[in-house]
Amino acid sequence: MASSLRRLLPLCSSSSINRTAFSASGVREGFGSSFFRGCSAFASSQQTVSKLDDEDNRQAVADTLAVDDEIAKIKHEFDAVRQGFQKIPDALKAMPKMNPEGIYVNKNLRLDDIQVYGFDYDYTLAHYSANLQSLIYDLAKEHLVNELRYPEVCMEFKYDPTFPIRGLYYDSSQGCLLKLDFFGTIEPDGCYYGRRKLSRKEIEEIYGTRRIGRDQARGLVGLMDFFCFSEACLIADMVQHFVDAKLEFDSCYIYQDVNHAIQHVHRSGLVHRGILADPHRYLVKNGELLRFLKMLRDKGKKLFLLTNSPYYFVDGGMRFMLEDSTGCRDSWRELFDVVIAQANKPVFYTSEHQFRCYDTENDTLAFTKVDTFLPNKIYYRGCLKSFLQITKWSGPEVIYFGDHLFSDLRGPLKAGWHTAAIIHELESEIRIQNEDSYRFEQAKFHIIQELLGKLHSIVANSQRSETYKSLLEELNEERQKARSVMKRMFNRSFGATFLTDTGQESAFAYHIHQYADVYTSKPENFLFYPPEAWLHAPFDIKIMPHHVKVPSTLFKNN
């Protein structure tokens, strides 16, 4: 309204009034008098609008000064704490360290209620060296070249242990390897096309946003177990080869072929025979595992082994791992009440396949019906329904240990069993998080996040001055430095397994919340806890139980 009045007021200027008033004497006394009254009213309105404008201007100036004052306070606070960035605060050394071999709890668990302990084999009972990923990669690569006619030059590819982490997703429609956070958002520095990291702009050009929608999620394949390291690296290398060679390809076919090759080296027994041919290179001996299993037996617990691997491979591996333990070389089977091999998980949990008794001497399956599990016998296939009918073990008294969140743990959880996720890289990541250098960067990151939150809360879009822009740039630059340093401590390409660079939990961490009552780096860590222990989830966790948030006050009080 004020702007409309200002557009009309110039029509009532003094020069126009005089020309109109003296143009004719008759008009001057009639129309002229009312005209002057109208102009007086406009003049009065002009004064009122002017007063309102003055008040608005004074308020705007006051608001600007207030905002500038708040920005100055944040700037002063930032400058003050930045002085503390020159050295690690002594208070960091007094902070408690997390136990790399601890058991971390998502859901409360009373161990005295657990009567039955079940175990997967690969990466659960069996510990492998880093050499195994190269073996799987090389065998799958050879299958791609020799059987699926991939270019001969691919034989020169080498497994890169510094590239993949567990919990990535492959987008079979776009050809990208993604690291997602807890909410399904692509990590800004966690999207690779082949071996090239994509920029934020490129991510948005492909996906429209960093948030993965329901339709886009249908094309994602989760790489969740420990064998996925070699699979993720081989997928990226094959995509990069086709890009470099400027050859047309369908990214969906790349995944299908690589996954087929990975499955082939397992199902054909190539990788199994390779491991047993040189167990010292691939398997890690583990006397603590025997002590843990014997402790459970001594406490009267029931034990079973449920694995997708063939019996000869499990037998060879267990003999090697436990051969240095007195009296156990030929008797590992006596530790278990039931041994089931080639179970075909996760189909095992939903199918109605019958168990077959396996003849270890003749490598054959018996034809007799299995309606009871006999000591020292080996069983193949089967299903959860028959397993529960035969054993009479009820859900809440059973806990199952496995490394694959989907194949191993999702089915047991739905059956009412308790679940324990075995995450080997947990140990190394906790050791990194315990280091003062990591906590130093973490504290810097948190305080900058707090300052950015304050800055955004007091400044509207219309109030973004040069002072604001300068401070925002400084804060973002310092935050990015802290992010980069923390990321390089874990994995140069994708960072930490459980956290994204932005401090959010990863999608992998989200699935651990979903499917694991507890998680730890290896089963024998339970030796540190009495079998009657009550395991409680922390009441105040905002991120995973093994994470510690380093407070920014360490810098403020230093």
- Residue 259: partners with Cβ closer than 8 Å, 6 or more residues away: 221, 231
Tokens for 291, please give them.
């002590």
Query: Which among 338, 415, 331 is positioned nearest to 372, based on CA atoms?
Result: 338
Q: Catalytic residue, from 53, 79, 112, 122: name it.
A: 122
How does DSSP classify residue 178?
Answer: E
DSSP 170: E
Residue 122, annotated as binding a ligand: yes
In whole angstroms, how far apart are CA 29 and each of 32, 284, 295, 466? 6, 114, 117, 59
Q: Are strands 364-365 and 378-381 parallel, antiparallel or unpaired?
A: unpaired
Q: Is 278 assigned to a binding site? A: no
SS (H, E, C) 139-167: HHHHHHHHCCCCCHHHHHCCCCCCCCCCC
Could you give the 3-state DSSP secondary structure of residue 525?
helix
Q: DSSP string of 396-453?
A: GGEEEEES-IIIIIIHHHHTT-EEEEE-THHHHHHHHHHSHHHHHHHHHHHHHHHHHH
Residue 185 pairs in a beta bridge with 211
The verdict on whether 298 is a catalytic residue reads no
Q: Which residues contact 114 (CB under 8 A, 6 or more apart)?
A: 301, 397, 398, 399, 418, 531
Q: Which of 56, 120, 257, 337 is catalytic?
A: 120
Distance from C-alpha of 545 to C-alpha of 98, rounded to nearest angstrom? 10
> Whole-angstrom Cα distance, residue 164 to residue 125?
23
- For the chain, how many residues are written? 558
108/331 Cα distance (integer angstroms) = 35
Residues 426 and 100 sit within 8 Å (Cβ to Cβ): yes
Q: Are 275 and 134 in contact (CB under 8 A)?
A: no
Would you state the structure tokens that stand for residue 516, as one six-digit string?
Answer: 């694991």
Q: What gap in Å lies between CA 168 and CA 229, rounded to an integer?
A: 9
Catalytic status, residue 250? no
403 annotated binding-site participant: yes
| Backbone φ/ψ region at 84: left (φ over 0), alpha (ψ -120 to 50), beta | alpha
Q: Which residues are known to be catalytic?
A: 120, 122
Binding residues for GMP: 122
Binding residues: 120, 122, 403
Binding residues for Mg(2+): 120, 403
